[in-house]
Amino acid sequence: MSRRTGVITRTFALHWARALPGARFGFAPRATRRAAFARATRLALEELGPAFVKLGQVASVRPDLVPPEYVFEFEQLQDRVLPLPASEIEAVICRELGRPLSELFDDFEREPVAAASIAQVHRATLVREVRPVIGEVMPAGTPVAVKVVRPRAAGVIEADLAEARRVLGRLDRLGLSRRIDAPALLEEFAASLASELDLRNEGRVSDRFAHDFRDDPFVMTPRIAWTHCSRSVLTMEYVEGWRLTEIDDAARAGVDAFHLAVHGAEVFMRQVLVLGRYHADLHPANLFVTPDSRICYLDFGIVGTTEPAERINIAQVLAATVYGDADRALCYSAELGLVVPPHKQREVRERVGELMDRTLNVPGRPADIKGFATGFLSVMADARVPIPAGYGLLVKALVTVEGVARAIYPEIDITKSAKPFATRLIAAHMARPDRIAERLPAALRAALRELAS
């Protein structure tokens, strides 16, 4: 066993041992036990450093691979590291862009505005005019955020990843990792790492999002200065505004928080049900509220997609869920790959119906999407029903959107936005000529039976 492997093993063991009293040494209710060990695991990941924080962040958007208690606990993981000296970051910029820093930027601030395990961000201004692919020209002097991949970041994280594989192999042999599909999670981590290390991917997705919402006056993404970008450098418009943790300041400045919360939920519905691609990693650090009352979306590292054939089924599941129809929700979930075996359908249907009543249909109280999602995923886990990857990501994204909306306006009920949006989409689908032609014979047979009776 290497020294690092020993450190990793001891760290997890120590934190799990500390969780035993909270879990009443295994005698607490199942949800309490899971929550205690999920928190212990998060603390261990944070102590072990950047690679393990990134691994936990990947896990936080994969409820198909990770138990729901862990998914929502891992949302709290903080990816913060000590910043590198500005001289090292400047060297990366000059090497990648092939020009001295003074020919690219004025007022390059040596103190970073953010520092994480993969990259750190510095504020600067453009020396000369830049024409972005999407949006108006960025004149000389435009404030920009320069995101730079930290040198040696890939090597450090991959070394820790190799150690994590060894540790998880040991846990598998001991039967201690049954609740988490570790091999699949590590593959997801490797793919996410490869994508994040090429910052051009983030720039392309950001531009696509900007194009999708070019006519929406309440949504924006930073303009990308492609002449100042490379695999390891991404230069984008610097956006002034308030993070969601500062929303009270925004409200005092005249921002209509309720309108933005409702509109943000509708933007998500449009991404999933109309456009077929959606920001799947929304959290307070990835959103700003601007002084002119817009929502600014950042960091498109994790993006979900939906195919045209899936979208109507998603709309049906969403509508059935917010209207409290467990039968319909499970029926259309099966069309999306979440199939409950026949011998478990009655039990699952009853539990899902009870869950809807407790979380979504309580008079005088906003629907609790997170409570429903956590319970729903637990019901499926108890019934040993596999969660398709896309379905799990969508559930997690919907929960995150609720959290974001409530951070902007705490009393919001996003089902009030979801109901009309999903209903309109279903109605439009059913009114298509091909759907009418498909259903007409059955409708005529039913009418004839009624007349003959």
Q: Residue 178 domain-assigned?
A: no
DSSP code of residue 385: P
Q: Residue 175 domain-assigned?
A: no
Other Cβ atoms closer than 10 A to 151 = 15
DSSP code of residue 364: T
Q: What is the pLDDT of residue 435?
A: 47
pLDDT in tens, 241-263: 888 778 888 888 888 888 888 88
User: Within this chain, do residues 95 and 229 fall inside the same structural domain, yes or no?
Assistant: yes
User: Within this chain, do residues 63 and 126 fall inside the same structural domain, yes or no?
Assistant: no
Residue 70 dihedral angles phi and psi, to the nearest 5°: -75, -40
281 is annotated as an active-site residue: yes
User: Within this chain, do residues 286 and 417 fall inside the same structural domain, yes or no?
Assistant: yes
Q: Residue 179 domain-assigned?
A: no
User: Within this chain, do residues 161 and 52 fall inside the same structural domain, yes or no?
Assistant: no
User: Within this chain, do residues 92 and 229 fall inside the same structural domain, yes or no?
Assistant: yes
Q: Residue 402 domain-assigned?
A: yes
Q: What is the 3-state secondary structure (H, E, C) of 119-170?
A: EEEEEEEECCCECCCCCCCECCCCEEEEEEECCCHHHHHHHHHHHHHHHHHH
User: Within this chain, do residues 132 and 262 fall inside the same structural domain, yes or no?
Assistant: no
User: Within this chain, do residues 61 and 91 fall inside the same structural domain, yes or no?
Assistant: no
User: Within this chain, do residues 216 and 311 fall inside the same structural domain, yes or no?
Assistant: no
Beta partners for residue 305, in sequence order: 277
Contact 399, 415 (CB under 8 A): no
- pTM for this one? 0.79
Exactly one of 160, 207, 281, 413 is catalytic; name it. Answer: 281
Q: Residue 116 domain-assigned?
A: yes
What residues have CB less than 8 Å from 103, skipping those under 6 apart?
127
Single residue among 17, 47, 79 that ends a domain in this structure: 79
Total domains in the chain come to 3
Separation of alpha carbons 149 and 172, rounded Å: 33
The two tokens of residue 56 are 């936990």
Q: Residue 27 domain-assigned?
A: yes
Q: What is the pLDDT of residue 96?
A: 96
Single residue among 238, 261, 279 that ends a domain in this structure: 238
Q: Residue 156 domain-assigned?
A: yes
User: Within this chain, do residues 86 and 74 fall inside the same structural domain, yes or no?
Assistant: no
Q: Residue 225 domain-assigned?
A: yes
- Give the residue numbers spanning the domain of 123: 81-166+184-238
Alpha-carbon torsion (388, 391, 394, 396), positive or negative = negative
pLDDT in tens, 188-232: 777 777 778 899 999 999 999 999 999 999 999 999 999 999 999
Burial class of residue 164, CB neighbours in 10 A (0-12, 13-18, 19+): buried
User: Within this chain, do residues 209 and 139 fall inside the same structural domain, yes or no?
Assistant: yes
User: Within this chain, do residues 13 and 39 fall inside the same structural domain, yes or no?
Assistant: yes
User: Within this chain, do residues 73 and 95 fall inside the same structural domain, yes or no?
Assistant: no
Which of the residues in the chain have pLDDT under 50?
435-436, 443, 450
Contact 104, 96 (CB under 8 A): no
What residues have CB less than 8 Å from 145, skipping those under 6 apart?
113, 121, 122, 123, 222, 235, 236, 237, 238, 239
Single residue among 238, 258, 282 that ends a domain in this structure: 238
